[in-house]
Amino acid sequence: MLEKALKFMGKKKTEEAYAKLLRKQTGFGFIGGLCLLALLPILEMSDYQLGMMVGLAFGLFIFAGASYATQKDPKKLHQAYISAYDERNQLINKLTTTWTLVFLLMVMCLLVLLDGFFGLIIPYRLLLVGLIYFCLICLIGMKALLNRFL
């Protein structure tokens, strides 16, 4: 969603400028993944931190690969360009992010109330992972619903 939000900032770009943006994304993902993998033997980390670094590196490689595949296929590039700048998709993305934020605030308020009245204690790492999953599920679910009904 952040990637799409950044694409919408400013004026509508030409298809060549959109392809250039994809090339930058490919370079960022590939170089970022390589840097993270190069840091692995240098830094001393716990198994959890090591797993996070490897996961981030492979996530960046997947991001770079998807951008590369899109920019190399003219049909996929044109389809991605239309999808990025289509008014309906922009509306769906805005509604999805807005409602995800609203639901996230409601869950956080509920957690504060549960802590205040019932003394609910949630470990910090579990809370963060739960909120990340909540955001991802909410974003994907809202986007699927809005795509179906709008």
Q: What is the mean pLDDT of each run of 10 residues along the chain (150 residues)?
A: 57 85 94 95 91 95 95 93 88 94 96 93 92 95 92
Whole-number pLDDT of residue 84: 85
Whole-number pLDDT of residue 5: 58
- Across the chain, how many H-helices and E-strands are there? 6, 0
Domain boundary assignment for the chain: 1-85, 87-150
Mapped onto helix, strand or coil, the DSSP state of residue 147 is helix
Whole-number pLDDT of residue 150: 85
Distance CA 11, CA 22 (A): 17
Distance CA 145, CA 147 (A): 5
Whole-number pLDDT of residue 4: 61
Whole-number pLDDT of residue 1: 53
| Residue at token pair 């999805």 | 96
Whole-number pLDDT of residue 12: 76
